[in-house]
Amino acid sequence: MITLRRRTVDQTGTSIIHQSMRSVPYHPLRTTRPGNKSRHGCPRKASPKPRRPIPFVTHLKEVQDARDAQALFHDYRQMGFKHDYPSYSALIYKLARCHDFEAVETLLDYIRDNNIRCQEKLFIALIQHYGKSNLSKRAIGLFYRIPSFNCTRTLQSFNFLLNVLVDNGQISEANEVFNRSSKMRFRPNSVSFNIIIKAYLNKGEWEQACQVFEDMLEREVQPTVVTYNSLIGFLCKTGDMDKAMGLLEDMTRKGRYPNAVTYALVMEGFCSLGKYGAARKMMFDMEYRGCKPRLVNFGVLITDLGKRGKIDEAKGILMEMKKRRFKPDVVTYSILINYLCREGRTSEAYKTMVEMQIEGCKPNSATYRMMIDGFCKVGEFERALGVLNAMLTDRHCPRLETFGCLVIGLCQGGRLSDASFVLEEMEKRKMSFHSNAWETLVGSSCGADGSATATELLKELLFMTA
């Protein structure tokens, strides 16, 4: 028996469960009619039968809390619902997202002991969740336990484990797992080698990365564009453009044609050395070599111009994109908005944000944050509050620092009702200032008026948000 917490659902919850468990109307599939053929002369395939939704899995999506998820699992069982792999996997995903890994382990033990057949993708997802929570040892342990669940362990889960270890800075552990590949009857592929190369480059160990690259060639594993991009990107970051360009030519000779990311890395390298002209020239070179520029390439140029304060030239790049029928994305627009705000040109930044929305490109959380911070920087707190409202309407949430800056500005302007509104929105999202932050906030709001004024302001704010 799984030792998970039980809870009785109320009448409404029971009603929802029974409704979701009603049988789905049967819709027979259409068979291929005589003469109903495709333009290639072959009979058209019937549309696949839609999967019938699983009541528990459907209901589980509405649950946010780990305990409620476990309780719902038991409620369905008490009602006679027979849980199988889809139910168990859905519950495990939910528990992992809630970081309740003890419950995950309990459920895994139950699955193994009752010989419930699992798919490898379940373990891959858990390995990734363990990685995000810096639980590398658990990720390793789970990987080695996969066969005990009557599940075939493949190179895919092997590579995911390597990547998790590298992302967590566990280079020695990643190497240990990599070196045991033959004992596990795995032949590392290009993805495996790319992960190890990335690990050494992240530590700045160029020679070791090159050694892995040579080992890759000796084992007759062909490098991919990703392999070359990792090496070229490292050289560009360190300013060794001669080696980077040499590697670019080498990959072309060996039939591994550079992609837009390759050229973007080289362009960034030139820009970091103050060679904007050379970076700009790479745009023509890549087209000459048959590689069409992408948004990332234009983004490199806009970023460099923005850093150097050449905002009008950056806006010119955006116009050039549109003339060439490249549709800027939210990242491209956000780069320009960011640098406009840094230069204090918030009205232009706001106009750019409106323009992107008119063209069908929705702002993301970063775009809104830049705009709010930009307005706060120049003291336009009313406009910042307007952007905040739009941000919350679009279900994005600012950072705590952005909330703090806005509250301080509103308090300094005497707009306590608006400040209390911001604090209420923070409370809804379970965000709050620490005691030191409160002191800084109130002190900044009151300036030189003294502690008595600060105390009165704090009392009023607390009263309004009570």
From residue 324, alpha-carbon distances to 317, 358, 377 in Å are: 11, 19, 35
Domain that holds residue 408: 401-466
Of 172, 92, 79, nearest in space to 124 by CA? 92
Structural contact between residues 125 and 156, judged by C-beta atoms closer than 8 angstroms:
no
**CATH number for 339:** 1.25.40.10
User: Do the domain assignments include residue 163?
Assistant: no
**C-alpha 331, offset from chain centre:** 14
Q: Which residues pair with 399 in a beta bridge?
A: none
C-alpha to C-alpha distance for 151 and 143, rounded to whole angstroms: 11
pLDDT, averaged across the chain: 84
Q: What is the domain count for the chain?
A: 2
66-118: per-residue pLDDT in tens?
888 888 888 888 888 888 888 889 999 999 999 999 999 999 999 999 999 89
- pLDDT at position 424: 86
C-alpha to C-alpha distance for 456 and 81, rounded to whole angstroms: 59
User: Do the domain assignments include residue 265?
Assistant: no
Q: Are residues 340 and 327 in the same domain?
A: yes
- pLDDT at position 57: 82
User: Do the domain assignments include residue 63?
Assistant: no
229-261: per-residue pLDDT in tens?
999 999 999 999 999 999 999 998 888 899 999
pLDDT at 457 over 80: no
Q: What is the CA radius of gyration of the chain?
A: 28
- pLDDT at position 184: 93
Tokens of 63: 């649950």
- 347, 375, 398 - which closes a domain: 398
Q: Are residues 379 and 326 in the same domain?
A: yes
Q: What confidence category does residue 417 fall into, taking pLDDT thresholds of 50, 70 and 90?
A: confident
Q: Are residues 326 and 390 in the same domain?
A: yes
**C-alpha 339, offset from chain centre:** 23
Structural contact between residues 410 and 419, judged by C-beta atoms closer than 8 angstroms:
yes
Q: What confidence category does residue 28 fall into, taking pLDDT thresholds of 50, 70 and 90?
A: very low
Q: Are residues 344 and 390 in the same domain?
A: yes
Residue 441, class by beta-carbon neighbours within 10 Å (0-12 exposed, 13-18 middle, 19+ buried)? buried
Q: Count Cα neighbours of 310 within 13 Å in the Cβ-side half-sphere.
A: 12
User: Do the domain assignments include residue 435?
Assistant: yes
- 346, 373, 398 - which closes a domain: 398
Helix 346-358 to helix 365-377 angle, to the nearest 10 degrees? 160
- pLDDT at position 352: 96
Q: Are residues 391 and 405 in the same domain?
A: no
Helix 330-342 to helix 346-358 angle, to the nearest 10 degrees? 170
Q: Are residues 405 and 393 in the same domain?
A: no
Q: Are residues 340 and 353 in the same domain?
A: yes
263-302: per-residue pLDDT in tens?
999 999 999 999 999 999 999 999 999 999 999 999 999 9
The DSSP-derived string for 359-383 is TT----HHHHHHHHHHHHHTT-HHH
Which residues lie below 8 Å from residue 186, measured CB to CB, with a gap of 6+? Answer: 155, 158
Structural contact between residues 381 and 402, judged by C-beta atoms closer than 8 angstroms:
no
- 398, 417, 438 - which closes a domain: 398
φ, ψ for residue 386, nearest 5 deg: -65, -40
Tally Cβ neighbours within 10 Å of residue 367.
Answer: 25
Q: Are residues 336 and 392 in the same domain?
A: yes
User: Do the domain assignments include residue 409?
Assistant: yes
Tokens of 277: 């002209």
204-215: per-residue pLDDT in tens?
999 999 999 999
Q: Are residues 411 and 465 in the same domain?
A: yes
Q: Are residues 392 and 407 in the same domain?
A: no
Q: Are residues 408 and 362 in the same domain?
A: no
Q: 239-261 burial, b for 16+ CB within 10 Å, e for fewer? A: eebeebbebbeebeeeebebbeb
Q: 409-418 burial, b for 16+ CB within 10 Å, e for fewer? A: bbbeeebbeb
User: Do the domain assignments include residue 333?
Assistant: yes
User: Do the domain assignments include residue 168?
Assistant: no
User: Do the domain assignments include residue 339?
Assistant: yes
Q: Are residues 388 and 422 in the same domain?
A: no
pLDDT at 408 over 90: no
